């Protein structure tokens, strides 16, 4: 399809239609790399900004994906892992029945917390050991990382938690005689934003692709915060099903 340089339709819009037609006809298959920016410039006798704008619009519409250092590809429809039933309790350490399936990346004691996380613990009145246990783990499905999770738990409530996790003790033992500190209520915030560079690397997605961020603040019977969890989910690889009847 030749481009009409005398048309009132902008050249980038004409090129966009050409690329779209090639995708819809199967000339460019899902998962296939399309010609480079320079190749399209030469083929269509267009400037790089014109080609870049056409490609950018198709990326924004979800038809193409740009992988740094690899090129631009036709987006494949990915079979998503459904997280169901999903609630604010789903990714909590203290609300879990088992540590199995949590692929821990790191766990350590910390004194300083990110601002938003620190603000959540301000309401606490419980005394005891200062500091927090920070646990980082990944959720996987068919060897694909779908969730990147960080949890913070006060050492004043669970002073031996890091040791317990290292030894992979059963949750029933970790929470024994800790009923007063276990989560009874959760406040959850859910938002969608573009993936940051490190998240794109973790999920093997283009930078800027959508991720779902879930932040849950767990409250004990006394109203003290016993855990805060921040979870980043790849919108490309998973979906959430909410069921209000399930905790």
CA atoms of 3 and 46, how far apart (whole Å)? 10
Please report which confidence band the pLDDT of residue 123 belongs to, taking 50, 70 and 90 as the band edges.
confident
Q: Is the same domain home to 102 and 205?
A: yes
What is the reported pTM? Answer: 0.72
Q: Is the same domain home to 15 and 70?
A: yes
Please state, as a whole number, how many other Cβ atoms lie within 10 Å of the Cβ of residue 83: 21
Classify residue 5: in a domain, yes or no: no
Considering only residues 120 and 6, tell me which one the structure prediction assigns the higher pLDDT.
120
Burial class (CB in 10 A: 0-12, 13-18, 19+), 100: exposed
- Sort residue 204 into left (φ over 0), alpha (ψ -120 to 50) or beta: left
Q: Is the same domain home to 67 and 111?
A: no
Q: Is the same domain home to 39 and 97?
A: no
* Dihedral angle sign, alpha carbons of residues 165, 228, 206, 64: positive
Q: Is the same domain home to 61 and 122?
A: no
Classify residue 110: in a domain, yes or no: yes
Q: What is the CATH number of the domain that holds 124?
A: 3.40.1410.10
Q: Which pLDDT does position 77 carry in this prediction? A: 74
Burial class (CB in 10 A: 0-12, 13-18, 19+), 94: buried
Q: Is the same domain home to 116 and 231?
A: yes
Q: Is the same domain home to 52 and 153?
A: no
Q: At which residue do the structure tokens 């993936």 appear?
A: 195
pLDDT in tens, 163-177: 999 999 999 999 998
pLDDT in tens, 70-122: 999 998 877 788 898 899 999 999 999 999 889 999 999 999 999 999 999 99
Work out the average pLDDT over 14-19.
95
Q: What is the CATH number of the domain that holds 67?
A: 1.10.10.10
State how many domains the chain has: 2
The helix (run of H) or strand (run of E) holding residue 239 is: strand 238-242
SS3 annotation, 98-131: CCCCCEEEEEEEECCCCHHHHHHHCCCCCCCCCC
Q: Give residue 40's domain range.
A: 11-74
Classify residue 105: in a domain, yes or no: yes
Q: Is the same domain home to 141 and 26?
A: no
């Amino acid at each position: 399809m030749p481009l009409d340089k005398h048309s009132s339709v902008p050249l980038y819009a004409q090129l966009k239609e050409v690329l779209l037609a090639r995708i819809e006809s199967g000339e460019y298959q899902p998962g296939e790399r399309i010609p480079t920016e320079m190749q399209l410039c030469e083929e269509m006798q267009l400037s790089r900004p014109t080609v870049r704008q056409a490609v950018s619009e198709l990326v924004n519409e979800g038809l193409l994906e740009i992988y740094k250092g690899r090129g631009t590809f036709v987006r494949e429809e990915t079979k998503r892992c459904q997280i169901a039933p999903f609630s604010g309790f789903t990714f909590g350490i203290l609300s879990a029945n088992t540590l199995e399936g949590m692929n821990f990346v790191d766990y350590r004691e910390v004194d300083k917390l990110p601002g938003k996380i620190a603000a959540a613990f301000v309401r606490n009145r419980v005394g005891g050991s200062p500091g927090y246990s920070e646990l980082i783990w990944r959720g996987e499905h068919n060897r694909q990382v779908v969730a990147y999770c960080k949890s913070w738990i006060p050492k004043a409530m669970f002073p031996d938690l890091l040791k317990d996790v290292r030894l992979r003790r059963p949750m029933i033992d970790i929470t024994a005689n800790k009923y007063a500190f276990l989560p009874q209520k959760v406040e959850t915030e859910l938002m969608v934003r573009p993936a940051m560079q490190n998240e794109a690397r973790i999920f093997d997605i283009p930078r800027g692709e959508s991720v779902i961020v879930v932040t849950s603040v767990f409250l004990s019977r006394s109203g003290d915060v016993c855990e805060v969890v921040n979870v980043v989910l790849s919108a490309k690889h998973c979906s959430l099903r909410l069921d209000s009847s399930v905790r």
